Structure 1
Amino acid sequence: MTNARAKKMIVLGIDGMDAKTTHRMVEEGKLPHIKRFLEAGSSRSGLEMLGAHPTITPPCWTTLATGAYPGTHGITDYWRQSPDSLDAVVYNMDSRNCKAEQIWNCTIEDKLKTLVWHWPGCSWPATSTNPLLSVVDGTQPGSVNMGVAQMDWEKIIYGSGDLDTPKFIPHTEKAAGVGCNITNLKEVVSSKKLNEDEDADDEDEMMEIWWGDESRKGGEIRTYVKSLEDTEMMIGAKVAYDIVMTPIKPADDWENAPADALQFELMISAGKEVRYGLITKNAAGKYDTVTLSRTKNANETFVTIPEGEMVSGIIDDATKNGETKPCCRSYKILELSDDGQTLRLWISNALDTTNDMLWQPKDLYQEIVKNVGPVPPVSLIGGEDAELVDQIFLPSWDIYCQWQADCIEYLIEHDHFDAVFSHLHNVDCAGHQLWHLAKTLYPWKATDEKVYQSFIERVYIQTDAYLGRFCHFLDEGYTIFVVSDHGLLVGQNVPPILGEYGGLNVQVMADLGYTTLKKDAAGNEIDEVDWTKTTAVQIRSNYIYVNVKGRDAHGIVDPKDQYELEDKIISDLYNYRDPVTGKRVVGIAMRNKDAAILGVSGPECGDIFFTVEEGFNCLHGDGLTTAEGYFGTSTLPVFIAAGQGVKTDFTTDRVIRQVDVTPTIATLLGVRMPAQAEGAPIYQILAGVD
């Protein structure tokens, strides 16, 4: 323990924030609040630090919290390798899998009241029952409660005076005409076949994946990535929402409906419940407002939606798996004709307002709901539909960022927290939907790269506004760190099927002769490994496992031949060429023992660690932390420190690594270092140190 240089600390973590993009936009005068932090504090000239590897959310946030490399703390990817299957993974964002101590255990030991807010990877379940520690979520990176509280999907309601009967089209089917104009309504309907007996609840995988029963039990997840269509960036950019087709007609069977009001119906809760809508005129005779009700009584509406405004924080019931809960939703009119005969209305997903499962103590949740408001849902649609990005996705994150800033500010001021470790996911969430569309490449020719580049900048401006909410704490004696886990780059080429974090990467390893899939009777490959012919597989971002006899369930490689086989795999990876450009696609490849120099060795890592060569990287996770991409982007994370105990308007030449963040926090607060910390304090930025 050392003498404290700071009394109070706020860590503002921004998932996916890229140092190169941040630096450029600061220089262009577009991020004034970040500029304020820089003038009040210290950083490198490019605002960067070196991130951990893989450049993936859970291992990097865990490194930031522990000061230890992934090979030490054991959170080595989004997923953990299944102990029973080389082609399967199990969920990994669980503090019980972390083998290194977190910094917040040290702050509470020194009597500092500590808040850990949505820190993904190693914070939940809470690492201590000490009443000085409060923890909110951390089981997934998206938004607070997203993994456990979702009761219903997002929807777009298409209303028309030309329709005769309502139809509900669940998100489980591919929506023809998604994002189309209202004139294509009949084409949308005619292209669909809705099974009236289908239970859409059974398909709600998104709502169950994070902290459901299988995650808690460590159930296996098996995904095969065989082509570009199987990759996360292709899937993530596709919109997925329920569609409701509804007739618009005069409101002649309502109580208390205004004169000339029009009515429609919409279905929620997998199409099993009905809400009633009115479309009403303004003083000029233009239809411009929608109201919704549970009954056909205009005096009992629960939301009024003016044209051009996203309305959030609205409570309405939703039912899932036979349970009905009060839920928070948001609404926005996308299109409403002056005569009221055409309507497109977006309705957000529904978040159960009673779910306090991921809050310690639980009364903290009720305190937030009472004094700030329920968790606002964020949109997960947009992708290749630029209108939805502009009108829905980004505005929903504007509302969420404001809510999160309100929550943290309230808790600091009213509950008097001394140390706050917080995480916000807006940049990374947008990145997974949008970044790859910021360069014109053949899979996405229909998108305008300039439009998507402007979206990238909007997300950073949104983030700057969020960070600006905390600037006043610099004047109140707080030390503030602004950090990120990794940056996000815009890919320069279509990436190879190698390094995808979500599953077993087949194509390159099959081309090289190491992975073989079984075939059906017609000779078509199926999603099942032929272990009798497979000597190695590539899974979980950057790891390759040799199929070793006696170690692995279906092992065929004699242990005495493993070293020689690893040497051949590494050689073949270096020799592999992209079939389009002819360029090498693998950057580095090394055995587990050698990967210790990058902090990715040991039992939780593969037999071989590799990275994809710069120029073939997708968003993040497959390359080095120093990788750069199109539109001046990179995977370099951000580091800025400001406030008490930190030099002002100072630039250091020292190389800063993520493992150094926790030791620096410990030094500033005068608490002990976490037990497994491997980094060193950034002494060069500390006030009073020459």
Structure 2
Amino acid sequence: MNRDARTKKLIILGVDGMDPATTKRLVDAGRLPHIKNYIERGAARKELNMLGAHPTITPPCWTTLATGAYPGTHGITCYWRQSPESLDAVVYNMDSRNCKAEQLWNVTAEAGLKTMVWHWPGSSWPPTSKSPQLHVVDGTQPGSVNMGVAQMDWEKIVYASSDTEKLRFIPHTQKAAGVGCNITDIGEVLSSGGDDDADEMMELWWGDEARKGGEIRTYVNTLDDTEMMIGAKVAYDMVFSPIAPARDWAGSPDGALEFTLLISNGKENRYGLITKNRDGVYDSVSLYRAKADKEPFAVLENGKMVSGIIDSATKKGATKPCCRSYKLLELSPDGTSLRLWISNALDTTNNMLWHPVSLHGKITENVGPIPPVSLIGGEDSELVEQVFEPSWDIYCKWQADCLEYLLDRGGYDVVFSHLHNVDCAGHQIWHLGKTLEPWNHTDEKVYQALIDRFYEQTDRYLGRFLRYLDEEYTILIVSDHGLLVGENVPPILGEYAGANIKVMEELGYTVLKKDASGNSLSEIDWDKTRAVQIRSNYIYLNLKGRDKQGIVDPKDKYALEEQLISDLYNYRDDRTGKRVVGIALRNKDAVLLGVSGPECGDIFFTVDEGFNRLHGDGLTTAEGYYNTSVSPVFIAAGQGIKPGFTTERVIRQVDVTPTAAVLLGTRIPAQCEGAPIYQILSDAL
């Protein structure tokens, strides 16, 4: 085999949730000019798609992209890992030590190629090679860099008015530590919320206890318990503040008005000064740490988002300098009312997820502090448009700036990068792209337009790297999965974040305990429960000798699996009368989809097309409303790639790693199960 390098430099631009069907529709409409340029200069399938791994969930798919191995082989088999102690609980999973397959970045570092792994979720942190050629930034959760460890204060909206009589703080009522698949406090995920400091949290996080325990137990009984309902609900702190004439300031203009902000979970004050222009119209707000300060730390104009503002915040007794963004959403001309958004606060000194640590200082000094992204909006389309989307505009620019800085000045030969804007928006708004009964109050056309805008945002980001094609780089654009707009309200089956109770209870396999009045409790009755459905696509039998409270005799396992699979196929949606389960396979048979072995359930199943939620519960080929799909995207361009070429080959996610290895002339990782996409290579293998 010809193993000469076809390129000396490779950039993998990963975009979480990027759907080839939506991408192609917008490319054809002329709305994604930079992606069109990549396609014209490179190679892809006509549909821009590839077959993803299963389940179609962030960590397993990104790990497949990094190793060329299927989830059953590499061992990262869903967003969460099954608890070794309990069938109804999960534990934290984005730990590289859970990965049983070799990552390509270890191979490139071994080959002497300076390699950067930028926020690649699933199997990149902690670093998996001691080579000085391997540098890694975060990867412990999908959202944004440092989101899981550096957040000091939640985002909030300040409502100030001359009619408000008393200063009040109302904390957000968040049901989980994040929105969708964004973990915003890993300490909260792994513990019951004690006062651990950062070192203690890291010991819990990366120590044996994190792998053994730290259980998360969530029961999904109704639609209200599902991630699509919870994730789309607006969750932010609210501050209600009186507006009054400015008093006791070190210096304030004539006619200035004042209000008070509360930060750090309502325990610290900041002060706002509302001032008017030459025409006597109140049009600006200045923010101060104290009235005695001569200069504000932020000046806000109506409708303009300001980012990169450094102010302190306090959490669990520790005060840190933090980066925040602000936007004055509304200000009445007479200054008597305003609405102000304040982002979450990210500790600018937190470098615990940077290897080497010096990278953090270089980035913050030469590019700037990490800008916080918003996690609010959902069913409030105004907040999506005015807050959520522009916060991601700022973050996308910052990340592109970082990668350009590293490529131009850091001397990196290979870059693996991940961006989460599309998927983060997906968990907020994609299900609102079709008007279904639970969301009759929303307008699907508004949300379809927002979906398209996030792809235009992604196009601008990807466009920043086009120039590297002229500098002898090869660029691969990939995603872990696509996102679909659901055709119907999904069944309570296939939710990735908890144990799915309703359908399994109706089928008689999962039984909840009852109180004295016969009402169901949030506790499984293990003496009567024969099977549990958990982690997207897996069903576990409650087996004697294997599970702590097992009741199923191992000799009855095959017959029970046969009965359960039959019952799944016969289950019908009560609204439409249609079958809701697509396929169901025993563990040994699920090897056909790469989801067999000890880290997978006794049965692997998928929800049938038409009943899929956003992603994760169905096949990688699933399609949805508004021309959306779950398939991941694949586009290649640059050195070693045929220009303007369309291949008919079925490309699989496991093929990306061996293709990248062949392009770079390195060996293929040890457990790789894919094959090079030789049809797109400019030189024959």
Residue of 610, 613, 618 corresponding to 2:605: 610
- Contact preservation (8 Å) 1:147, 1:208: no
Taking the TM superposition and a 5 Å limit, the aligned residue runs for 1:456-605 are 456-605=451-600
Residue of 661, 665, 680 corresponding to 2:675: 680
Residue equivalent to 1:295: 290
* Structure 2: segments with no counterpart, 5+ residues: 176-182, 191-200
Give 1:234 deviation, angstroms.
0.4
Distance 1:134 1:575 in 2: 51
Which stretch of structure 1 is more off in the superposition, 569-578 or 280-289? 280-289
Residue equivalent to 1:3: 4
Distance 2:562 2:647 in 1: 40
Give 1:444 deviation, angstroms.
0.6
- Contact preservation (8 Å) 1:294, 1:300: no
Give 1:173 deviation, angstroms.
7.8
Residue of 352, 356, 365 corresponding to 2:360: 365
Residue equivalent to 1:180: none
- Residue identity in the other structure for 2:334: D
Residue equivalent to 2:315: 320
Residue equivalent to 2:629: 634
Give 1:689 deviation, angstroms.
3.2
Distance 1:518 1:653 in 2: 54
Which stretch of structure 1 is more off in the superposition, 300-309 or 474-483? 300-309
Give 1:687 deviation, angstroms.
0.3
Secondary structure at the residue paired with 2:489?
A: coil
Secondary structure at the residue paired with 2:624?
A: coil
Q: Identity of counterpart residues, as a percentage?
A: 71
- Residue identity in the other structure for 1:142: G
Residue equivalent to 1:92: 93
Residue equivalent to 1:261: 256
Residue equivalent to 2:73: 72
Give 1:164 deviation, angstroms.
1.6
Residue equivalent to 1:619: 614
Residue equivalent to 1:151: 152
Distance 1:615 1:302 in 2: 51
Give 1:526 deviation, angstroms.
1.3
Question: Residue 501 and residue 214 in structure 1: after superposition, are their counterparts in 2 closer, same or farther (change >3 A)?
Answer: farther
Q: Does 1:356 align with 2:351?
A: yes
Residue equivalent to 1:61: 62
Give 1:284 deviation, angstroms.
1.9
Which stretch of structure 1 is more off in the superposition, 273-282 or 212-221? 212-221
Distance 2:384 2:376 in 1: 7
- Contact preservation (8 Å) 2:55, 2:78: yes
Residue of 337, 344, 352 corresponding to 1:342: 337
- Residue identity in the other structure for 2:437: Y
* Structure 1: segments with no counterpart, 5+ residues: 175-202
- Residue identity in the other structure for 1:402: K
Q: Deviations over 1:208-248 (max 9, x none)?
A: 33786654423111111111000001000001111000000
Distance 1:317 1:252 in 2: 24
- Contact preservation (8 Å) 2:149, 2:186: no
Residue equivalent to 1:228: 223
- Contact preservation (8 Å) 2:148, 2:185: no
Residue equivalent to 1:166: 167
Secondary structure at the residue paired with 1:563?
A: helix
Distance 2:351 2:29 in 1: 42
- Contact preservation (8 Å) 1:126, 1:360: yes
Distance 1:111 1:489 in 2: 40
Residue equivalent to 1:388: 383
Give 1:306 deviation, angstroms.
1.1
Residue equivalent to 1:432: 427
Give 1:299 deviation, angstroms.
2.3
Residue equivalent to 2:108: 107
Give 1:256 deviation, angstroms.
1.1
Taking the TM superposition and a 5 Å limit, the aligned residue runs for 1:182-201 are none
Q: Deviations over 1:85-107 (max 9, x none)?
A: 10011111100000000000110
Give 1:298 deviation, angstroms.
6.0
Give 1:308 deviation, angstroms.
1.5
Q: Deviations over 1:480-518 (max 9, x none)?
A: 000000000000000000000001000000000000011
Distance 2:259 2:152 in 1: 23
Give 1:2 deviation, angstroms.
1.4
Residue equivalent to 2:26: 25
Question: Residue 557 and residue 386 in structure 1: after superposition, are their counterparts in 2 closer, same or farther (change >3 A)?
Answer: same
Q: State the aligned residue count.
A: 662
Distance 2:97 2:666 in 1: 23
Distance 2:266 2:678 in 1: 59
- Residue identity in the other structure for 2:684: V
Question: Residue 29 and residue 618 in structure 1: after superposition, are their counterparts in 2 closer, same or farther (change >3 A)?
Answer: same
- Contact preservation (8 Å) 1:246, 1:266: yes
Distance 2:630 2:123 in 1: 22
- Contact preservation (8 Å) 1:487, 1:620: yes
Give 1:204 deviation, angstroms.
8.7
Residue of 448, 451, 466 corresponding to 2:446: 451
Give 1:129 deviation, angstroms.
2.0
Q: Deviations over 1:511-542 (max 9, x none)?
A: 00000011122322111110111000100000
Give 1:170 deviation, angstroms.
0.9
CA RMSD of aligned residues (A): 1.4
- Contact preservation (8 Å) 1:495, 1:617: yes
Secondary structure at the residue paired with 1:16?
A: coil
Secondary structure at the residue paired with 2:294?
A: helix
Give 1:297 deviation, angstroms.
3.6
Q: Deviations over 1:608-659 (max 9, x none)?
A: 0000000000000000000000000000100000000000000000000000
Give 1:300 deviation, angstroms.
2.3
- Residue identity in the other structure for 2:30: G
- Residue identity in the other structure for 1:617: N
Q: Does 1:209 align with 2:209?
A: no
- Contact preservation (8 Å) 1:257, 1:298: no
Q: Does 1:307 align with 2:302?
A: yes
Residue equivalent to 1:286: 281
Give 1:172 deviation, angstroms.
3.0
Please, what TM-score do these two structures have when normalized by structure 2?
Answer: 0.95
Question: Residue 474 and residue 204 in structure 1: after superposition, are their counterparts in 2 closer, same or farther (change >3 A)?
Answer: closer
Secondary structure at the residue paired with 2:169?
A: strand
- Residue identity in the other structure for 2:637: A
Distance 2:130 2:302 in 1: 48
- Contact preservation (8 Å) 1:10, 1:480: yes
Residue equivalent to 2:244: 249
Distance 1:259 1:477 in 2: 61
Question: Residue 481 and residue 205 in structure 1: after superposition, are their counterparts in 2 closer, same or farther (change >3 A)?
Answer: closer
Distance 2:36 2:187 in 1: 38
Give 1:477 deviation, angstroms.
0.5
Give 1:283 deviation, angstroms.
2.0
- Contact preservation (8 Å) 2:153, 2:263: yes
- Contact preservation (8 Å) 1:147, 1:209: no
Which stretch of structure 1 is more off in the superposition, 80-89 or 580-589? 80-89
Question: Residue 391 and residue 254 in structure 1: after superposition, are their counterparts in 2 closer, same or farther (change >3 A)?
Answer: same
Question: Residue 230 and residue 660 in structure 1: after superposition, are their counterparts in 2 closer, same or farther (change >3 A)?
Answer: same
Distance 1:300 1:293 in 2: 7
Q: Does 1:133 align with 2:128?
A: no
Distance 1:496 1:591 in 2: 21
Distance 2:599 2:244 in 1: 61
Distance 1:108 1:462 in 2: 32
Distance 2:130 2:285 in 1: 48
Secondary structure at the residue paired with 2:623?
A: coil
Distance 1:425 1:369 in 2: 20
- Residue identity in the other structure for 2:235: A
